Amino acid sequence: MEKATGGSQSIDRSLDTPEKFDNQDYQQLKQSCLSKRMRYIDDKFPPDTRSIGDGILKSSDMNKVVWVRPHKIVPNPSFVVDGITRFDFGQGIVGNCWFLASIGAVTLQEPILAQIIPKDQTFDEDYCGLFHFRFWRFGRWVDVVIDDKLPTIKGRLIFVHSKDPEEFWPALLEKAYAKVCGSYSDMNAGTPVEALVDFTGGVHVCVELSSPPPNLWELMSHARQSQSLMACAIPPGATSENTVLPNGLVNGHAYAVTGVKEIKIRGQLVKLVRLWNPWGKGEWKGDWSDKSRFWQMVSPQDRATCLDVIDDGEFWMTLEDFCKFYSDLNICCLCPDFLDGSSTCHWKTSFYEGRWVAGSTAGGCLNNSDSFWKNPQYRVKIDKLLDKCAVNQGENNMLVSLMQKPNKRNRRQVKNLYIGFSIFAVPDAGVEKFPASFFITNRPVAQTNKYVNAREVMKLVMLMPGEYLIVPSTYKPDETASFLLTIVSKAETHTK
């Protein structure tokens, strides 16, 4: 067990007892609506312009918006038609490709999908216009209630829409996440890892593809074999975002990674990555694209298994082209055992809530030698790896993540601080809190590469058995904010 100084505490992240978002109880609201024979209208996320938000619709178009229930759009709506897949939907007018790419990745993992979308939701028996979904938000699962009134213009959905007009799970899921974010416009722009973490309650590993690790292919292959989710993004570049390039890729756009496969061509093995565009259309036009000549040079079996010449947004490309055109790869998982390609040693995870308080526990970065010690301090003892886990003794054995918690409901109003953390080797001594002198004479054995104004920073480290101190901080001193620290360790960890 890890313990921490500085007022932090361990937290429970159980999916079995999710918090009621906005204090709305799904079962109570449903029973109330059924007993009164009325259809639910959510007063916490009302069907009006406030829930759409500013900046995504012109005022002239906003006046055309009509909120209607699915029964008013089609005669026989269904929550799900023939199962849930990434090919069910396409992106609407809000720039939430980061969110939809993450949904595309989630549809490949049924257990994770079942966490987000509770079963037995229909438009038939006991229907009262009420639905609910679950997301992991800053350390806790929350159950989010919505009504099924959806914004339309001229009878058509203006945000995410199903390719089958009778299927509504994508639009309702998007509405629930919009409620969590504050409005639909609060979903505009983001990174896939944010949604991946909110869908799983897991941890993530970020790989910079401009300088990929030598074992990138092994990492992706092991991640694909486990219940890990993968998504990536193309940088905006010199042109504006969402510009379709001559090669078919989209600037400033997020994609889901849906597969990896080695294919033999002319006696040579080629490493291929499969990607999916959340627009539901628009594909890569280079080597190994749907109409590439290379598909005629592989075995009929591989061609039948992999090639699908339909503009559904999904395509193959080589690992080299993947690293060339995409900026980063995010792998999100409940357990990072894919890092060493084995599930024989289960990594252990602990979560802690903490807070920097100006004038008290907000000491700033190490440049502030007189105040850095005031930051919350997490003391961790790492035991020697068990024999079954010690095969890769020199590999990374701990993942540390620092996530700052928002102080505002609306996502776009949140101003992230520059955050990071440092890890120090410490003597085996009963010190309650290390003073300023310790940090003047001791340098970190590991730390985040830089302080960034992101929701979350993380780092994989290799720490030998011993005692360590993890110190999360903001870059500047005297900045007040709450945070969530996640420690994932391959070895047994505890504190005296």
Residue at a domain's end among 331, 355, 383? 331
| 316 occurs within a structural domain | yes
95 or 467: which leads in pLDDT:
467
The domain spanning residue 474 has which CATH number?
2.60.120.380
Strand 19-20 with 140-147, pairing: parallel
The domain spanning residue 279 has which CATH number?
3.90.70.10
Q: What is the pLDDT of residue 116?
A: 93
pLDDT band at 168 (very low <50, low <70, confident <90, very high): very high
**Mean pLDDT value across residues 391-411:** 79
Cα of 271 vs its chain's centroid, Å: 26
Q: Are both 76 and 46 inside the same structural domain?
A: yes
Q: Are 251 and 272 in contact (CB under 8 A)?
A: no
User: Which of 21-35, 133-147, 237-251 shows the lowest mean pLDDT across its residues?
Assistant: 237-251
Q: What is the pLDDT of residue 18?
A: 87
Q: Are both 415 and 479 inside the same structural domain?
A: yes
Q: Has this prediction a pTM greater than 0.85?
A: yes
Q: Are both 355 and 471 inside the same structural domain?
A: yes
| 336 occurs within a structural domain | no
| 305 occurs within a structural domain | yes
Q: Are both 128 and 255 inside the same structural domain?
A: no
Number of domains, the chain = 3
* Nearest-angstrom CA–CA distance, 406 and 137: 10
Q: What is the pLDDT of residue 6?
A: 39
Provide the token pair at 196: 């991946």
- Asked whether residue 91 carries a pLDDT value surpassing 50, the answer given is yes
Over 58-93, what HEC string results? Answer: CHHHHCCCEEECHHHHCCCCECCCCCCCHHHEECCC
Q: Which residues are marked as active site?
A: 97, 253, 277
Q: Are both 375 and 454 inside the same structural domain?
A: yes
Q: Are both 37 and 178 inside the same structural domain?
A: yes
Residue at a domain's end among 304, 331, 358? 331
Range of the domain at 102: 21-186
Q: Tokens 């937290």 map to which residue?
A: 11
Q: Are both 314 and 369 inside the same structural domain?
A: no
Q: Are both 293 and 320 inside the same structural domain?
A: yes
- Asked whether residue 282 carries a pLDDT value surpassing 50, the answer given is yes
Q: Which residues are paired to 350 by β-bridges?
A: 487
| Average pLDDT along the chain | 86
| 301 occurs within a structural domain | yes
Q: Are both 120 and 142 inside the same structural domain?
A: yes
- Asked whether residue 393 carries a pLDDT value surpassing 60, the answer given is no
Q: Are both 287 and 360 inside the same structural domain?
A: no
| 8 occurs within a structural domain | no
pLDDT band at 349 (very low <50, low <70, confident <90, very high): confident
Q: What is the pLDDT of residue 341?
A: 60
Q: Are both 393 and 442 inside the same structural domain?
A: yes
| 487 occurs within a structural domain | yes
- Asked whether residue 309 carries a pLDDT value surpassing 80, the answer given is no
φ and ψ at residue 302, rounded to 5 degrees = -65, -40
| 133 occurs within a structural domain | yes
pLDDT band at 10 (very low <50, low <70, confident <90, very high): very low
Q: Are 67 and 48 in contact (CB under 8 A)?
A: yes
- Asked whether residue 406 carries a pLDDT value surpassing 90, the answer given is no
Q: Are both 455 and 383 inside the same structural domain?
A: yes
Residue at a domain's end among 186, 213, 235? 186
| 14 occurs within a structural domain | no
